[in-house]
Structure 1
Amino acid sequence: GVYSANEFLTRVNLMHADAFPAFDTPVLHAARVAVIGGGNVAMDSARVARRLGAKVSLIYRRGEDEMPARKAEVLHANEEGIEFFTCTNPTRILGEQCVTGIECVKMSLCGIDASGRASPEPIEGSEFTLDVDMVIQAIGTSPNPLLVSLIPGLERGRRGNVAVDENGRTSIPHVYAGGDIATGAATVIEAMGSAKKAAAAINAMLKEE
């Protein structure tokens, strides 16, 4: 099977899919899992799959030092036996009715891209295949472009996020934003902190009015 990280984690953590059929929502109990990504959600997905008994391979196109995940998350994933395939990019998922493998290519890091990080380029002739039963895609999320584009006057940052000030105030009066849609990918704690700041600013604004 192929899952998004959000679907996989939701099925396991909120819908108790690991306990199927005691609960209604199933999830594939795979023996070999490939997780694509290098952020905190990728680490969460890999560690959950490992705890469900799978041999887990984590595929990331840059080096381990350039993973956006917190260092502690990377350390814990290593300690739990996750196998890291860094400087590696997936090119194709294999299988018809079921996933049987994932084709990858090794990457070299050369030059600097728009994010300020080394730009990965495929190495000719370095293709290889991992035998897996399930693939979890954890390559990051971004604000819904349709939602953002349909709100006139809403300014956006260069990565498509909603532009806000230090209190979460947007370019539209009385409209505030917080969490990943404003800051980009971060932790739940940081999202809660931005919401708390925005709530305090909204409260102060209402008192003034």
Structure 2
Amino acid sequence: MPLTPPAAWTHLPFFKDTLPAITTKLAGEQRLILPPERQIFAALDACSPDTTRVVILGQDPYPTPGHAHGLAFSVEPGVALPRSLKNIYQEMAEDLGTAPTTGDLRSWAAQGVLLLNSALTVPAGEANAHKNLGWSKLTEQVLTELSTKPRAFVLWGNHAQGFVPHIHGKHHFILKTAHPSPLSARRGFFGSRPFSKVNAWLKANGDTEINWTDA
């Protein structure tokens, strides 16, 4: 069955030029593909171009069945916190004094935080296996689309920072640090205070702060 593009983003060339080939490849997969089909575009369904205020780029969905639900770094309610998300919350507690107890970040998305992975699918148990499927073209086009007015872009790690050329304009807030993964968090993620910095930028631009701790 063809994937249904998110309504507010269907004007992007990706959905006509690239998605059909991806859909064909997914249809031929013998492996279990995550997240479930209805959640593949969940991040873009939750945040239209008009409502997006902050972008956090991830790499690909969690490869464990029942964990990923279409939002980068987020997990379904009741799932134990993945290691990167634990580190994100540890930094948030240092930055803001508290952190959520659940890993479900849909409350962030509801406030205009686009939690976008650069690959929207992954075979179960095979992290990063769909990195060359073509999804990155969507990420590039989304970032270009969102460059039309000042926004905050949170880019954790080299992979996310590789998309900087697709962010145009000079008035954005672009935060680049190490990734929150246990392999790199102590090389510049811890102590970076991304949440208060994004909120300070939003406030300085006359916008409402994000309630990060209410997840």
Q: Fold match, TM over 0.5? A: no
- Whichever of the two has the greater Rg, that structure is 1
Which gives a bigger RCO, structure 1 or 2 (Cα 8 Å, sep 6+)? 2
Q: Which has the higher strand share?
A: 1
Q: TM-score, normalised by structure 1?
A: 0.24
Q: Which has the higher helix share?
A: 2
